[in-house]
Amino acid sequence: MSGKANSSPIVTLTPAPTLDRTYFVTNLHSGAVNRADDVREELAGKGINVSRGLHLANISAPGIVPIGNSDPAVLVRTGSAEFLTPLWVDGSLRVSTTILEHGGTTTKVNETPRPLSHEDWNSIVELTDRTVRENGAKWLVIAGALPTYKESGEYVSLQPIFDRMQAQGVKVALDTSGEPLGYWAREGCATVMKPNAEELAFIVGRNLKTIGDVIAAAREVNAFGVDVVLASLGGDGMVAVTKDHAWSARTAPVKVINTVGAGDATLAGFLAAVVSNPIEPGEDDFGVGFNVPIGVKTAVQWGAIAVTQPTSGLTAVEPLPESTINYSPVLDTALDEPAIGKPH
C-alpha cells in the first residue's frame, strides 16, 4: 500500500532525518584501523522508521521529511520514495554512523541536526497540516531530534503543529529527546509520549530503580496533560501508564543483534494495534479513547523483532514472538538497568 494514498490513519513527521550508515565489523579496536565486513545505508530517523514499519504491516503512514537538496536521488537509492513526502531544503542530510560488532555491541555517532530557517520550518508545518487533512489521519507521529532555527539557534517550535492537530481532533504521539523532551512533556500537548527509562528519569529529575518508580514518574507526566506514557525499558519490556491504569508487557528473551531503532519499532507496533483495533461502542476506552493494552502488547512484540535485525529500520514484522501483559504490575520489581536522572 502506498504511503501517498489519500486515506491513511497515521502521518509521521521526522524533523531531522538522517542518512544511516551501518558498518559491520568483527571487533572494533579504538585508535586502530578497522576493516568493515559489510556496509549498509538507509534513510532513517524516528518518524521514518515508524512509517517504514507501518508500511510493512500494510498500514499507510506517509512520512513528512525535510531533506537537503544536495542529494536528490536519496529517496530512490534508499527505497524510501514510496512512503515519504519530502520537503526539499538547502543543504545536505546529516549522517548517523553505526558500528555493529559481531558480538552485538553497538557504537553510534550521530551528527547534530541541520538548522532550518523559519521559512523552511513554516513550510514543514503547512505540509504536515495539509497531509493530515488530505489523508483524514487520526494520528500524527512527531519523532526524532528537533533541529534549531538558523536565525536564532533556538529549537523549532512544535506549538503550531499541536494547535492545528487539536483543531482537527487528531491525536499526537511524540518521541524526542534532550531539552525538547523535558519542555514538551511539561507542556502536556501530546496524547502519547514514548520515553525510554533514562529519558523518563531525565524528565522527573530522579533515579528510577523499580517498575513502581517508572509508573510514578510516568504519572507525573500524565499530570502535565499527556494521556499515555509508553516507557520502553530494554530487557524489562515496556510499561504503559495513564492517570488511572498501568500495564507492563514483555516478550521472552531474544538474541539481540542491534538495538538501534527498537524504540521506533515499539511505537509503530503500538499504533498499528491501536488503529487496527478501534474501541467499539460499550467497550472500555481506558479513559483515553483507544485500546492501550493491546497496543503495548504489540509494541513489545515489534520491539523484539527489531533488535534481531541488523539495521535501524524494520525489515519484517512477522512472525510475532509471544508476549505477556500484566494488568497489575508488581511495583517493587527491580529494573535490570536502573535509570539515572539528574535533578533540573
CA 31 to each of CA 36, 37, 205: distance values in angstroms, whole numbers, following the listed order: 15, 18, 36
Torsion of CA 39, 19, 13, 121, to 10 degrees: 180
Active site amino acids: 264
CA 267 to each of CA 51, 207, 240, 313: distance values in angstroms, whole numbers, following the listed order: 10, 24, 11, 12
Hey, what amino acid is at 339? A
Q: Are 199 and 181 in contact (CB under 8 A)?
A: yes
- For 34, half-sphere exposure in the C-beta direction (CA atoms, 13 angstrom radius) is 16
Contacts of 49 (CB under 8 A, 6+ apart): 143, 261, 264, 265, 268, 312, 313, 314
d(CA 272, CA 53): 9
